[in-house]
A and B are shown apart, each in its own frame.
Chain A
Amino acid sequence: MEQSGTSALLQGAVQDLASGVVSALRGGGHPRVVLPADTGGAAGELALAAVRVLGADAMLPSVLLRTPPDPAEAAVFRKAVEAHPPRPDAALSVRWSHWGMARTLRRIDPSSPAGPPDEPGTGALDEADWQSLTRQLAVLAPLALPGEDCAVSRAAVRRPVDVARGFVRAVRRRDWRQAAGAGRWLTLLPGVPDTLGLVSGLDFVELMGGQDPLVALHVQAARLMRTGAPV
């Protein structure tokens, strides 16, 4: 498909955005504008698309560091949510990604309706084997936030050993994105076996895969969540 050029462009934009988020997360509380203000024209469309793909994590610094979001950033975030709703036949992960953004939007934007948006179903997530469960959770790592509950997180909470197994599998396969996403979930789950060694596991994933900003993002998020960064 001729998509390869555009999807590479999009991937690049997503990674640039993710790098900004990582810097903000490492910066420790200094307000830092990550999202581009200018959303006009073709470049703006690319930026909005990148925000959509990064999803709720586009606002992660403000959420995890508990700093009020920059109003212009919030506006860009809202624009990305509204410009890219899931298509009718969209995969479950696409719906949940959008749902996660809508949930974040309601937290940061007082003009939003109160209460969480309607959840998509979880499909066959509960019946999924541990490999598939972990893969899907990792894709939905932006939903992994302390104190936040939804059907996806409940599915994860029910199966900490399985998610831990998925983490081990991802590391062995050198799939650093999946490992980082799984590690981020594991930070929140009770019942993870002690022998996993999650803390050094996250260090290892960052060592091996941290040149990828998406890997660094999930690892840094996990660290902040572990130390109990207030939400």
Chain B
Amino acid sequence: MTAPDGAGDVRGVAEDALAWVDARRAGFALGEDALSADGEVDRSWKPLGELAQVCATVTRRTARSDPLHARARALLDFAWRETEEGELLLRLQRLEPFATYPLEVYASLAAAGFRHPAFEAAAAVVAGTRGWRLTEQDPTRRLGVRCAEERCGIRPRGQAPPAPRGTWLGGLPEPWTFERAAGYALTHVVFHLTDWGRADDALPPDLARYLADWLPPWLDTCLDAGMWDLAAELLAVAATLPRPTDDTVPPDAWRRLGAARDPSGAIREVGREDGDGEVGDPARYFAHHYHSTLLAAFAAVLTTARPAGRPAGPRHGGQGAPA
């Protein structure tokens, strides 16, 4: 397993990241244009949904006594209040009945235990249409919507878990075709399949093996390129694998991600800080840091939540140098 100092790195990232998020929760507030036709969903609902998704996993994967748990719980309560206990989502659904993102956001809150029956009933009406099922979207996104439907009881859970049909990852492609877009798609397929790290052993074995084989070069090169956000997502993926990650996560990965932390505790999406800093331009700073900081907390919690002492066992004659 990871060396003791490595574990300290990981925990430190989680604490700093979630502390920063908590202190900047106002940045996640919905704002007055949350329902306006010209409001930007990416600046309002998207960050809130991501906050809820990550915090739902943090609460699920930490003991109640863990300070991280309490912080995440408080942030979830904040997020639910922002939606006016779900009322805004219901209104949103009436304004944009064919949009998928209201359900996607709602599902992240439902994962944390919040429900709004009238919203679910409304969403179910539309979800039963051919139009909804045929919504033009990326296969990875469609998988996410399907998972959201199942989580909210809008679509009955099938006997088989949803398959990553048509996705890049689902086809087990040549790993050297990896690049940024493929990377974000693959991480999301894993997040959807594993219910954002809340489900155990949710990955089909061939997918898990494929990821274990190829995460090391993807991680190493993302860190080398300063792609902190994607690196954090890949670390989260590694943490959901059924096999131990001794071989899968480069030993210095968490140190390198940790080194990308700002004094504020936040982690930039890409590269080095080049603007006026948080004090000089808080909105810009938030926009460039919130996502990667959230995902770093997510990955760190999943990593530390892995059960210790799972037998490693040799594979392929013991690949990877001894730790």
A residues sitting closer than 8 Å to B (CB atoms) are 126-131, 133, 158-162, 164-169, 171-173, 191, 193, 195-197, 200-201, 204
Contacts and interface: CB of A to CB of B under 8 A. Distances in A.
Chain B at the A interface: SS class: loop
Interface in B34-60: none
Interface string B193-229: 0000000000000000010011011101100100000
4 cross-chain pairs, A with B, having the tightest CB-CB distances, nearest first: A197-B174, A169-B217, A168-B217, A171-B176
A169 B319 contact: no
Contact of A130 (B173, B317, B320): B320
Nearest to B222: A172
B213 A191 contact: no
| Interface range, B side | 20 to 34
B310 interface: no
A23 to B, nearest CB: 27
Contacts of B218: 168, 172
Contacts of A166: 217
Nearest to A171: B176
Contact of A165 (B174, B179, B214, B251): B214
Nearest to A163: B319
Contacts, number: 74
6 contacts: A129-B321, A130-B320, A169-B217, A169-B221, A173-B224, A197-B176
Contact of A201 (B174, B251, B322): B174
Instruction: Tell me which of A126, A168, A196 has the highest count of chain B C-beta atoms within 10 A of its own C-beta.
Output: A168
Q: Which residue, B175, B316, B317, has most C-beta atoms of chain A within 10 A?
A: B175
Nearest to B209: A193
B176 A167 contact: yes
Contacts of A167: 176
Which of B179, B216, B251, B317 has the most C-beta atoms of chain A within 10 angstroms of its own C-beta? Answer: B216
Contact of B217 (A133, A172, A193, A201): A172
B234 to A, nearest CB: 13
Given A129-B250, A169-B221, A200-B174, 12 more contacts: A129-B251, A130-B321, A158-B317, A161-B319, A162-B319, A162-B320, A165-B214, A167-B176, A172-B178, A195-B174, A196-B176, A204-B176
B175 to A, nearest CB: 5
B321 A127 contact: yes
Contacts of A133: 321
B181 to A, nearest CB: 14
B283 interface: no
A203 B246 CA distance: 32
Nearest to A197: B174
